[in-house]
Structure 1
């Protein structure tokens, strides 16, 4: 009976294959969470913050500045303001000119450029040394991310706080009302575990089911991963394209069924890794930074073929993204990179191994604007193109390196974490390991100078040309405002005339340049052409009503009249001489002196340069009997220079 019963029972039912896959995914998810907790425990230990690169934040990545005033640290140094403070997390970005550091007590420090409030201190004042963000002292900050002009932090309760530039909604607050948030505001994302910032967008990793990865900000190249760039014409009939910002964080639908555990952001592209070790990239595809063998923008996450087959990333893999390239570590300690890895040579259109680093156990990796840094074993390695000494080779070492090279001053030290920005690099080292090396590191104290608070200038119309023109005009305005000579008052009176210059000025530019050269050779005793106003145009002898517009030559001193009669009036430079048929008769010449001048000549409001025959000695003007009645302008000469003087005169 027992045998029959056992035979009749048959084999046990096979479990559903779908349920088995779910169980396996849940087990892997639990394993990854445990590994992350172990990593967090190691990070809580903290270490000393080191810095190298440019410490003159107002000059970083700007070509129109005086390089003699730039302070560079060519090898890693300790910062006085964070001395003996245990730092657990550091952040910067491939487009960032500011830094973020978090200590073991959850306090957040920021420093660097602050033109859009990205430091979170409630103002726009630059901080040259790490400064505590007092608005976050009641929160326990765990991690942070830094974009071009914004900063996002996450707290121990899974909340996200952001501050800085919010023009494109990159703070994730759900509102565009305030373009600059100088103090931290809450982002609309919950249960956040990690945060990453691109130039003008942000990505959060969340534990919410179906929303493991969330994005907000500028969608111009599809870097948000929502299948669109939100492009539209600025107005009907216009060819100008604009991109609708996305201030409200939104889950990436194509990755809703994936458990994203790691991510990184470049300037305009994103990289993510799921719990199974598959790599996804999307956003701007220039220079092959997405690794899909083509320079095509991807508006939704697309799996990288190489890491879909046999080179699946292990759980302890590290992923990073620079301005125009990406990188990750694979099994066996192999580092892969793709994109514009070097400033010269061909782009790497798909992931290629970096053979110089084969076999190294890389624990931390980050990519900046043009440099990369990796922490492996008891060494720190850097390579790329440096401008401010951000590779840390020292003042006597090479400025740049195309291949990975050891940082000698950190050799033998345990580097826990690295972070790269624009022109600078951050390190966190363990003080307890290699203490003799640690004591040899120099200490740097940043200057206390902070520029005055100024609102950022609005972008000039016309792109780069408009910005250059605006800077040129600003220099001219500054030069004009400086006191230079006693004739400043006279020049200030003449300045408004420039706004009324006619369009003929552009047509006669060459003529004016020739005249200015000849003006320098005018003799001290001017020949002047008397009081004739023919050809001067409006504002250079304008007549009034009746006798008000006339100045008779008999009231001018005899010496000036005699000199004026010695030379007959000419047509002026740049004009063809009159023929005999066109020459005016004696009656016409006489009437021309008494009648008001015609509105002709060099153009409306066009001031003509002073010439030798137009100059009237100033002493003659002062010796005459004049009354305030006639409006015009007179030229006089002083120390071999010609000047113009506005006057209101009338004969007595």
Structure 2
């Protein structure tokens, strides 16, 4: 790094530290071509970041939230002053910059500059954000109606467009669907997008035969955000999405899951798909979630803290060999830790616990952050 750039970076780090700011550190792939997807424009990174690394455009920026997805190859970061940064793969316009060019480094989404962005969700090829005024905007692939605009026209939106959700408080994305939380009474959770496994929670997968002369099946897209009737009268306060499943918590601390049931990721001790929210039994009595507890969903797994002591529970496919966890089990190696936050990827997990950052799982692209020699690490359940 040139001396001038190094000095600027150091100055930015000192300012962030003095202001009590939260810096973003990144590890994992920056070579989106090796992920099996073509990219357009930009110069590919030199390799994977196998240790936590500062991204130059965000040095000195106070970051309040980072969003990515277990099916995504792009990221969104929100600063404390309401700016929205995005970077990564962009062939469907999922970065919101008005084009389909790759961005290797975080870039401000200029069309959102007049808004204070407080929440964001990232799907396989789409992004949804929420403002402090309750407005929601989306950009990227809209083939299945996952942008929630009420229309399937112009399947790709390279600039932010408004979603048909009022008083939004949060947005979370699966691969091709979106879940919004809203402060509207009786409609605290709404979904739109691909209903293939019942992940929208409306009691159907909307499957039909595409041609009377064949058995080719397809799924009716759902472009209109729609409240989940099974949760009517309940206030959903937390939600997390895997590739094709959803986990949610209501204000009473009860946990619900629905969508694709493979590998036990729904926590119901069976692999059946659920087309509408179903209570996870273990969290109905002594282990109900408190307001400070967290939930997370990976590609084929789910997790939460519960029981008033911050005990972490996990279920689903947790490693690429051996048996899956068909129902929530406590992670013994993390008993006694005060877990503050958690995120799950394809086959790895990361938590913030007390003043430590802990990661485990498969590290195919350096996503665990332990350097070039650590390929995987697993915890005991």
Q: Write the mapping of 1:420-435 to structure 2, written as runs, cut at 5 A.
A: none
Aligned to 2:218: 242
Does residue 164 of the first structure (1) align with residue 135 of the second (2)? no
Counterpart CA distance in 1 for 2:282 and 2:149 is 37
Contact 1:326 1:339 in 2 (8 A): yes
Q: Which residue matches 2:330?
A: 353
Distance 1:379 1:61 in 2: 33
Counterparts of 2:200 and 2:36 in 1: how far apart (Å)?
Answer: 26
Q: Which moved more, 1:122-131 or 1:44-53?
A: 44-53
Post-superposition offset of 1:297: 0.3
Q: Does the alignment pair 1:100 with 2:64?
A: no
Q: CA RMSD in A?
A: 1.6
CA distance in 1, matches of 2:45, 2:355: 35
The answer to whether the Cα contact below 8 Å between 1:153 and 1:161 also exists between their aligned partners in 2 is yes
Does the 8 Å contact 1:45/1:88 carry over to 2? no
Measured after TM superposition, the shift of residue 61 of structure 1 is 5.0
Q: Does 1:297 find its partner at 2:270?
A: no
Question: Which ranges in structure 1 are unaligned for 5 or more consecutive residues?
Answer: 1-43, 405-652
**1:342 has 2:295 as partner:** no
Q: What is the 5 A alignment of 1:536-555?
A: none
Question: What are the equivalent positions in structure 2 for 1:268-287 lying under 5 Å apart?
Answer: 268-287=244-263
- 1:391 and 1:62 map into 2 onto residues whose CA distance is 22
1:106 CA displacement = 0.7
**Corresponding residue number in structure 2 for 1:54:** 29
What is the Cα deviation at residue 105 of structure 1?
A: 1.4
Q: Is the 8 A contact 2:45 2:104 kept in 1?
A: no
Note if 1:390 corresponds to 2:342: no
Tell me the distance in 2 between the aligned counterparts of 1:401 and 1:84: 32
**2:99 matches 1:123:** yes
1: distance between equivalents of 2:36 and 2:129? Answer: 25
Aligned residues: 356
Task: List per-residue Cα deviations over 1:485-541 (Å, max 9, x = no partner).
Answer: xxxxxxxxxxxxxxxxxxxxxxxxxxxxxxxxxxxxxxxxxxxxxxxxxxxxxxxxx
Partner of 2:11: none
Q: Hey, what's the Cα distance between the residues in 1 that align with 2:27 and 2:185?
A: 41
Match of 2:355 among 375, 378, 389: 378
Q: Say which is worse superposed, 50-59 or 211-220, in terms of deviation.
A: 50-59
For structure 2, the residue ranges without an aligned partner over 5 or more in a row are 1-18, 39-43
Match of 2:236 in 1: 260
Identify, as 1 or 2, the structure richer in strand: 2
Q: How far apart are residue 58 of structure 1 and its match? A: 2.7
Query: Structure 1 segments of 4 or more deviating over 3 A?
Result: none
Asked whether 1:132 is paired with 2:108, we answer yes
Match of 2:98, SS state, is coil
Distance 1:327 1:380 in 2: 17
- More divergent stretch after superposition (160-169 vs 326-335): 326-335
Q: Output the CA distance in 1 between the equivalents of 2:60 and 2:34.
A: 29
- 2:16 match: none
Q: Take 1:137 and 1:57, find their aligned partners in 2: how far apart are those partners?
A: 27
Q: Give 3-state SS (helix, strand or coil) of 1:223's partner.
A: coil
Decide whether the 8 Å contact of 1:46 with 1:103 is kept in 2.
no
Q: Is the 8 A contact 2:177 2:200 kept in 1?
A: yes
State the distance in 1 between where 2:164 and 2:45 align: 42
Spell out, residue by residue over 1:532-560, the C-alpha distance to the aligned partner (whole angstroms, 9 max, x if none).
xxxxxxxxxxxxxxxxxxxxxxxxxxxxx
Matched, 1:229 2:205: yes
Q: 8 Å contact 2:296–2:342 — kept in the other structure?
A: yes
CA contact (8 A) 2:331 2:379 kept: no
Q: Which residue of 1 aligns with 2:14?
A: none
Confirm whether residue 75 of structure 1 aligns to residue 51 of structure 2: yes
Residue 366 of structure 1 deviates from its aligned partner by: 0.6
Tell me which residue corresponds to 1:143: 119
Corresponding residue SS for 1:328: strand
Q: CA deviation at 1:69?
A: 7.9
CA contact (8 A) 2:30 2:45 kept: no
Give a deviation string over 1:163-218, Cα, whole Å, max 9, x none.
Answer: 00000000000000011000000000010111100000000000101100000000
| Alpha-carbon displacement from aligned partner over 1:554-596 (angstroms, at most 9, x marks no partner) | xxxxxxxxxxxxxxxxxxxxxxxxxxxxxxxxxxxxxxxxxxx
| Cα shift at 1:131 | 0.6
Partner of 2:165: 189
Normalised to the residue count of structure 2, the TM-score between the two structures is 0.91
Q: Secondary structure, in 3 states, of the residue corresponding to 1:58?
A: helix
TM superposition score normalised by structure 1? 0.54
Structure of greater Rg: 1
Matches within 5 A, 1:8-87: 46-60=21-35, 71-87=47-63
* SS of residue matched to 1:332: coil
The alpha-carbon distance between structure 1 residues 61 and 393, as it changes in their structure 2 partners (threshold 3 A), is farther
- Is 1:57–1:112's contact at 8 Å kept on the other side of the alignment? yes
Counterpart contact for 1:58–1:113, Cα < 8 Å:
no
Do 2:70 and 2:344's aligned partners in 1 also have CA atoms closer than 8 Å? yes
Shift of 1:60: 2.5
Counterpart of 1:344 in 2: which secondary structure?
coil
Measure the CA separation in 1 of the matches of 2:92 and 2:37: 17
Deviation at 1:317, TM superposition (A): 0.5
1:237, distance to aligned residue in structure 2 (A)? 2.8
Contact 1:195 1:202 in 2 (8 A): yes
